[in-house]
Amino acid sequence: MIILIWECSATMLVVKRLGLIEYKKCWELQKETQQALMRGKGEDTLYLCEHTPVVTTGTRGLKGGLLVSEEELAARGIALVKSDRGGDITYHGPGQLVVYPVIDLRKIKKDVGWYIRGLENVVVNALYMVNIKGVTLAGLTGVWTYKDLKYNNWGQNDCRQNGGGYEGFSKIASIGIRISRWCTMHGIALNVLDQREGFSCIDPCGLKGASVTSVEDFADGITVEKMAELMVESFREEFGFKEWREECVLAGT
């Protein structure tokens, strides 16, 4: 378990639960909050939601990561959206917890790499709370688990130090962000319930042949709501938010 607590001037975090919401609608909410932060008038906000089925591409574009035609995607009821986040192609759908921090790094630490590693730590520490060993891999962003469950114990080292490659691992959380004037948006997608059907349309994050897993593969009876609580706790600890308040915003789809 990794916990890094940073003293920062941003002590209040607003947590907003949006429920099930279309990707584009949530994207607009993030942009509004980010622009307010850049003007010095907004509040550091953590959005939590699930999305209606959608495949999104980042600034790297498709690059062959879509394994079916756009027509087939539409026939399956899955939207396709080009996003302004970093990274490649990914899938979002019900049962996946999406966590979007829209925060001002000028009050915390102006370091993009540090921030991304911090988001990975948020996931690793939340998984630890349900007895799952999440690992990071050298040269790759996101959090993975071992395919062979005998290695899912805390005697293993962080694989970021043990060479590259993702063979033998399954991805449980993806990370893609955008930072403008040190104010963040986009964030983490954690597979809580099984997402294999949706991910079967793509190579996750453009990684050919990569497999995905979910929290429920390891923890019986887990819910999106429970993991949301743990992710909020882990995020606050990681980034040093001493105070927080929660707002339930049922934005709808």
Q: b/e map of 117-135 (b: 16 or more CB within 10 Å)?
A: bbbbbbbbbbbbbeebbbb
Secondary structure class of 47 (helix, strand, coil)? strand
Q: Which residue in 49, 183, 205, 248 is the catalytic one?
A: 205
In order, the DSSP letters of 142-197 are SEEEESSGGG-STTSPPGGGS-S--TTEEEEEEEEEEEETTEEEEEEEEE-S--HH
Give φ, ψ of 37 to 5 degrees. Answer: -60, -45
Place of tokens 């999440």: 134
Asked about 248 being catalytic, the answer comes back as: no
Q: Which residues are catalytic?
A: 205
